[in-house]
Structures are given as C-alpha cells and as structure tokens.
C-alpha cells in the first residue's frame, strides 16, 4: 500500500528559536500513524534544531535544496552528504521557486535526484506548469518533460525512495488552489506516465502529493480524489495548529 505523505515547506521562514517553539506546540498534538509520513522541509540553518526537537517522534526532516555536486567550491550551497550526516532523511528537488528564481533546469534536477539517492536522502521531485503553459493546453507536456528528464537516471532500486509533488506554479503562494478535478487529472496522468516508465508496481506504490495553496479549509476535497497521496504545504504549514489539521485528517 502506498504511503500518504504530509510535507511542510517552510521556505525561508523561522529562526532556530521559532523552530523549537513550533515543534513544542506541534508535537503536543501530533501522533504518528501507520501508512502516513510527516516531513518538514526546513531552512538549512534550522535543520539541527528541527532534528533535535523531533528525534524519535515519527517526523522526518528534509532540506529544501541540495547542490548537485558532492563537495567543492560552491559557496553558499547545501551539501547532500552534510544534510544526511546532520540527520536529514529527505530533500526537495526542483521546487518551482528554485526553478524560476535560481535557474534550476530539468538537467540540474536530474543530477540532484541522483546525488540525493547516492547520499541516502529521499528526494521529492516537484513538477508543475505555469499559468501560461496551462492556458496554452501544455500542462501534461511540461509535466512529462520535467518527469522524463528529472527521473531519467532512476534505476529499479531507486524508485522506492522517490516521491513526486505536483505543484501548479500558478497555485503556489497565490491563494488560487487547483480544483479537485484539475489536481486529480494531472495526478492520474503522472501515475500513467510512471507506469509506462517504470512499470505498474512502481506506479502503484509512488506517493504523488499535491501542492499549491492547500489550506485546512480546502484540502479534504482534494484529498478524497483519485491518485492524491498527500500534500506539500507552504504557507499553511507555518502555524502548528494549521498543519496539525492536515496531519489529523
Ligand atoms: C510550496 O511552497 O511548495 C507551496 C505549495 O506553497 P503554498 O502552500 O504556500 O502555496
């Protein structure tokens, strides 16, 4: 049975002190349950605090970005090896803000996917179309290109560690959530793509998350649709009470 994954993307928010305070509140209301994974993608400077605060509590911590080289002269970048050594289990790859603000191409996401796996991190590949691309009827063309290139080097042994997040760019941080039908249509197409690429077993086991203005008030209807296996939540994950509503569902 595939896992249901609830992932928080804090982006560049919270200091270590705020991180500790968040987890104090969050963990007082959280209990892990079988078949579910809860993950926090926190800013790099909060990783140590997040790992210390959540140790043994059934919550995974991840980095929001890694560099595609293992080490070297890359000032300011996050090392996948160091993230793993610090206690991270996960990393985001190809978030739309990385793509649009920091020039992350599909080829770069492919290298990051491979290195994350090599370093023992579980990569969550983010894909999604812009509003112009959706309006032009190119949603699946864009998403399939991002999947094809980003996941090109995956071997049979890699798939179990991979997760996909479908995040329409026009819905991220805008308050404009995809309709349950829009989300389900793309998730179903992603699963069909996976079946062609890696076989029915891999496709059936792959968690495909929705992200884009998911809120306590709107996520249930999306969650009840076919092929939606969790959420990547930005703004609504910053308050413990708000994110707990996703986790308690
Ligand atoms: C995100 O950053 O991945 C995201 C989905 O943000 P928001 O929930 O704020 O739209």
pLDDT tens by residue, 5-23:
999 999 999 999 999 999 9
Query: In the predicted model, what is the mean pLDDT of residues 108-130?
Result: 98
Q: What is the pLDDT of residue 76?
A: 96
- Taken in order 50, 162, 225, 218, the sign of the CA dihedral is positive
pLDDT at 1 over 90: no
Note down the domain range covering 156.
4-247
Q: Measured from the CB, is residue 234 less than 6 Å from ligand 1?
A: yes
Confidence of residue 249 (pLDDT cuts 50, 70, 90): confident
Backbone angles phi, psi at 104, to 5 degrees: -75, 120
Give Cα 240 distance to the centre of its chain: 18
Q: What is the pLDDT of residue 45?
A: 98
Distance 141 CA to ligand 1 centre (A): 22
Contact 67, 74 (CB under 8 A): yes
Closest residue to atom 3 of ligand 1, CA basis: 234
Q: Measured from the CB, is residue 9 less than 6 Å from ligand 1?
A: yes
Q: Which two tokens stand for residue 48?
A: 């140590």
Distance 156 CA to ligand 1 centre (A): 30
Distance 114 CA to ligand 1 centre (A): 24
Q: How far apart are CA 58 and CA 39, in angstroms?
A: 9
Question: How many structural domains is the chain composed of?
Answer: 1
Ligand 1 closest atom vs CA 233: 8
CB atoms within 10 A of CB 167: 26
Residues labelled catalytic = 95, 167
Q: Measured from the CB, is residue 222 less than 6 Å from ligand 1?
A: no
Q: How far apart are CA 5 and CA 139, in angstroms?
A: 24
Query: In the predicted model, what is the mean pLDDT of residues 98-125?
Result: 98
> What pLDDT digit, counting tens, does each position of 200-222 carry?
999 999 999 999 999 999 999 99
Q: Measured from the CB, is residue 172 less than 6 Å from ligand 1?
A: yes
Q: CA dist 100 to 49, 70, 92, 115, Å?
A: 29, 23, 15, 22
CATH number at residue 223: 3.20.20.70
Q: What is the pLDDT of residue 165?
A: 98
Q: How far apart are CA 15 and CA 28, in angstroms?
A: 20
Least Cα distance to 45 among 81, 20, 74, 8 occurs for: 20
- Mutation to probe ligand 1, out of 96, 235, 237 (largest number of atoms < 8 A from CB): 235
3-state SS track over the chain: CCCEEEEEECCCCCCHHHHHHHHHHHHHHCCCCCCEEEEEEECHHHHHHHHHHHCCCCCEEEECCCCCCCCCCCCCCCCHHHHHHHCCCEEEECCHHHHHHHCCCHHHHHHHHHHHHHCCCEEEEEECCCHHHHHCCCHHHHHHHHHHHHCCCCCCCCHHHCEEEECCHHHCCCCCCCCHHHHHHHHHHHHHHHHHHHCHHHHHHCCEEEECCCCCCCHHHHHCCCCCCEEEECHHHCCHHHHHHHHCC
> What pLDDT digit, counting tens, does each position of 24-62 carry?
999 999 999 999 999 999 999 999 999 999 999 999 999
Answer whether 0.95 is exceeded by the pTM. yes
Contact 39, 61 (CB under 8 A): yes
Q: What is the pLDDT of residue 38?
A: 98
Q: What is the mean pLDDT of the chain?
A: 97
Say which residue the tokens 């994950």 belong to: 237
Q: What is the pLDDT of residue 172?
A: 94
């Amino acid at each position: 049975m595939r896992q249901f994954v609830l992932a928080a993307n804090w982006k560049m928010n919270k200091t270590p002190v705020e991180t500790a305070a968040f987890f104090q509140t969050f963990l007082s209301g959280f209990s892990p349950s079988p078949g579910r994974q809860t993950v926090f993608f926190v800013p790099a400077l909060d990783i140590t605090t997040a790992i210390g605060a959540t140790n043994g509590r059934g919550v995974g911590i991840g980095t929001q970005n890694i560099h595609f080289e293992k080490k070297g002269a890359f000032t300011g970048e996050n090392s996948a090896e160091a993230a793993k050594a610090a206690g991270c289990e996960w990393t985001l790859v190809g978030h739309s803000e990385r793509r649009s603000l920091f020039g992350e191409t599909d080829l770069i996401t492919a290298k990051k996917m491979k290195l994350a796996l090599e370093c023992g991190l579980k990569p969550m590949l983010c894909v999604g179309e812009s509003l112009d691309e959706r309006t032009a009827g190119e949603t699946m063309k864009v998403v399939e290109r991002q999947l094809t290139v980003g996941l090109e080097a995956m071997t049979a042994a890699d798939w179990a560690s991979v997760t996909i997040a479908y995040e329409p760019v026009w819905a991220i941080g805008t308050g404009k959530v995809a309709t349950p039908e829009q989300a389900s249509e793309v998730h179903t197409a992603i699963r069909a793509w996976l079946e062609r690429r890696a076989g029915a077993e891999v496709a059936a086991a792959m968690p495909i998350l929705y992200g884009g203005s998911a809120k306590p008030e709107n996520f249930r209807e999306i969650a009840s649709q076919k092929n939606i296996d969790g959420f990547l939540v930005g703004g609504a994950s910053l308050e413990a009470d708000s994110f707990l509503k996703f986790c308690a569902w």
